[in-house]
């Protein structure tokens, strides 16, 4: 095993779920470079979505350097490539189709690169059997290996940069820092005593029903919604355009529209809130590292296959927390039920869910961090 392998690396990202795909790939790219000194090239097809989570992105640039990472606009499948263009390690994200000319050049390079298909995060048991499996190219002398993030030692673990958990703990222990951070978005001092909730979901989530329950409830709730999320339902509540800075209070509920923020600030939002509603994969993982109760809105799939994936995760995570299971299934349209009763039950279990979040964090830490695990695997293939 060569400790200085790889020196160069490429990640190919095609944006399907607006921010989750590029969110994960950008975290990967930054960590490979910052913590392991690897020269990283990130190929991404949607620079506009990228810019929303990292404002330094120039959406008109074909080639740019951001925080030491080379970012290339992946404009299509054409292009001429030679062996000298190919890095030591090539990662295709969620099985995207790398340009054919690039693959041909991979086969011509000596030594051939390690080729990894970075798969989606799932708690389903079949993942453990597929993690690290090889796949021969049908025509070229190339082998691709599958690498699955996951929740135990039989998978690649969760994406986590160095010092993340410690930074989160320090922030959460500093009430003044949290108040100052939330104050940037208009959260008043008296709102700090309310139940602080971040809301990030897909448009079909039953947001209006939940807003009604919160507004009519006995507990004050301060809900922070990034601009563009559940736009129509947020606008119906506040009675105005859902642009950053807009806010309204009805009954016990205050809804505030906040800017769509860089990843580093979004992490702090999750750390500062008492409950986080997250979606897709990137924010889902970050909610787990925030060690706070959270509700996951899973990316929808045909024939409701996503409900299987949701239940598999809840079976592992929501141990002894039936209220979270019931509410999560309702939030994802996987069961029926009155939102009021489901939320009331969940709210009553928040102290226990906070303890469970801490336990889960400790379990996930024991699996190591995904980038280090992936590099160890890639090095084992390079010998």
Q: Which ranges of 40-156 does DSSP label H, i.e. alpha helix?
A: 47-53, 100-108, 126-130
Taking only the tens place, the pLDDT of each residue in 342-374 is 999 999 999 999 999 999 999 999 999 999 999
Q: What whole-number distance in Å separates Cα of residue 215 and Cα of residue 249?
A: 8
The reply to whether 206 falls in a domain is yes
Banded pLDDT at 287 (limits 50, 70, 90): very high
**Dihedral sign computed on CA atoms, order 151, 98, 96, 8:** positive
In DSSP terms, which residues pair with 369 in a beta bridge? 158
CATH number, domain containing residue 181: 3.40.50.2000
pLDDT for residue 244 is more than 70: yes
Report the pLDDT value the prediction gives residue 141, as an integer from 0 to 100.
95
Residue among 286, 348, 292 nearest 322 (CA): 348
The reply to whether 1 falls in a domain is no
Banded pLDDT at 16 (limits 50, 70, 90): confident
53-64 residues labelled b (16+ CB within 10 A) or e (exposed): bbeebeeeeeeb
Residue that has been written with the tokens 């448009």 in this structure: 203
Banded pLDDT at 196 (limits 50, 70, 90): very high
Report the pLDDT value the prediction gives residue 304, as an integer from 0 to 100.
85
Does 230 share its domain with 344? Answer: yes
Does 320 share its domain with 376? Answer: no
Q: Which ranges of 260-304 does DSSP label H, i.e. alpha helix?
A: 263-272, 282-290
Does 137 share its domain with 49? Answer: yes
The reply to whether 252 falls in a domain is yes
Taking only the tens place, the pLDDT of each residue in 54-109 is 999 999 999 999 999 999 999 999 999 999 999 999 999 998 999 999 999 999 99
Does 176 share its domain with 138? Answer: no
Does 192 share its domain with 153? Answer: no
Tokens of 42: 């990130």
Does 132 share its domain with 245? Answer: no
Q: What whole-number distance in Å separates Cα of residue 108 and Cα of residue 374?
A: 24
Q: What whole-number distance in Å separates Cα of residue 55 and Cα of residue 262?
A: 7
Does 269 share its domain with 329? Answer: yes
Average pLDDT, the chain: 96
Q: What whole-number distance in Å separates Cα of residue 354 and Cα of residue 292?
A: 6
The reply to whether 138 falls in a domain is yes
What's the total number of domains in the chain? 2
Q: What whole-number distance in Å separates Cα of residue 257 and Cα of residue 248?
A: 9
The reply to whether 112 falls in a domain is yes
Report the pLDDT value the prediction gives residue 20, as an integer from 0 to 100.
84
Q: What whole-number distance in Å separates Cα of residue 210 and Cα of residue 207?
A: 5
Does 271 share its domain with 140? Answer: no
pLDDT for residue 18 is more than 90: no
- For the whole model, what pTM was predicted? 0.96
The reply to whether 3 falls in a domain is no
Using DSSP's 3-state secondary structure scheme, residue 268 falls into: helix
Per the CB < 8 A criterion, the answer to whether 189 and 221 are in contact is no
Known catalytic residues? 21, 281
Does 252 share its domain with 152? Answer: no
Report the pLDDT value the prediction gives residue 306, as an integer from 0 to 100.
94
pLDDT for residue 129 is more than 70: yes
Report the pLDDT value the prediction gives residue 326, as an integer from 0 to 100.
98
Does 87 share its domain with 129? Answer: yes
Question: What's the domain range around 178?
Answer: 164-365
The strand pair at 275-279 and 195-199 is best described as: parallel
The reply to whether 2 falls in a domain is no
Report the pLDDT value the prediction gives residue 325, as an integer from 0 to 100.
98
Per the CB < 8 A criterion, the answer to whether 40 and 69 are in contact is yes
Report the pLDDT value the prediction gives residue 221, as an integer from 0 to 100.
98
Does 240 share its domain with 151? Answer: no
Does 226 share its domain with 346? Answer: yes
Report the pLDDT value the prediction gives residue 376, as an integer from 0 to 100.
97
Report the pLDDT value the prediction gives residue 205, as an integer from 0 to 100.
97
The reply to whether 212 falls in a domain is yes
Tokens of 253: 């509920």
pLDDT (average), residues 234-261: 97
Give every CB contact of residue 167 below 8 A, 6+ residues apart in sequence.
none
């Amino acid at each position: 095993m060569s400790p200085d392998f790889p020196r160069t690396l490429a990640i190919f990202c095609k944006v399907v779920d607006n921010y989750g795909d590029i969110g994960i790939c950008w975290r990967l790219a930054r960590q490979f470079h910052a913590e392991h000194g690897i020269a990283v090239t990130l190929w991404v097809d949607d620079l506009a979505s990228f810019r929303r989570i990292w404002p330094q992105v120039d959406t008109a640039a074909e080639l740019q350097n951001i925080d030491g990472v080379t970012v290339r606009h992946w404009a299509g499948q054409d292009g001429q490539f030679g062996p000298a263009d190919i890095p030591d390690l090539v990662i295709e994200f969620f099985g995207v189709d790398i340009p054919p000319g690039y693959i041909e050049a991979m086969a011509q390079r000596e030594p051939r690169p390690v080729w990894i298909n970075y798969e989606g995060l799932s708690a389903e048991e079949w993942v453990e059997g597929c993690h690290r499996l090889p796949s021969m190219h049908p025509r070229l002398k190339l082998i691709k290996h599958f690498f699955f993030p996951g929740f135990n030692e039989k998978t690649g673990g969760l994406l986590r940069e160095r010092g993340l958990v410690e930074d989160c703990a320090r922030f959460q222990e500093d009430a003044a820092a949290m108040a100052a951070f939330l104050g940037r978005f208009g959260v008043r001092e008296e709102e700090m005593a309310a139940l602080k909730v971040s809301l990030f979901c897909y448009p079909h989530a039953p947001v209006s029903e939940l807003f009604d329950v919160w507004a009519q409830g006995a507990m004050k709730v301060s809900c922070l919604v990034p601009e563009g999320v559940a736009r129509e339902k947020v606008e119906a509540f506040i009675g105005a355009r859902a642009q950053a800075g807009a806010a309204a209070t009805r009954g016990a509920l205050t809804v505030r529209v906040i800017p769509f923020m860089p990843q580093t600030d979004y992490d702090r939002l999750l750390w500062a809130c008492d409950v986080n509603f997250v979606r897709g994969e990137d924010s889902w993982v970050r909610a787990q590292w925030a060690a706070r109760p959270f509700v996951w809105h899973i990316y929808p799939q045909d024939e409701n296959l996503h409900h299987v994936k949701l239940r598999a995760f809840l079976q592992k995570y929501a141990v002894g927390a039936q209220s979270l299971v019931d509410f999560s299934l309702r939030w994802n349209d996987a069961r029926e039920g009155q939102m009021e009763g489901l939320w009331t039950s969940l709210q009553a279990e928040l102290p226990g869910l906070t303890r469970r979040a801490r336990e889960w964090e400790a379990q996930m830490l024991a699996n190591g961090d995904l980038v280090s695990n992936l590099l160890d695997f890639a090095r084992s293939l390079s010998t």
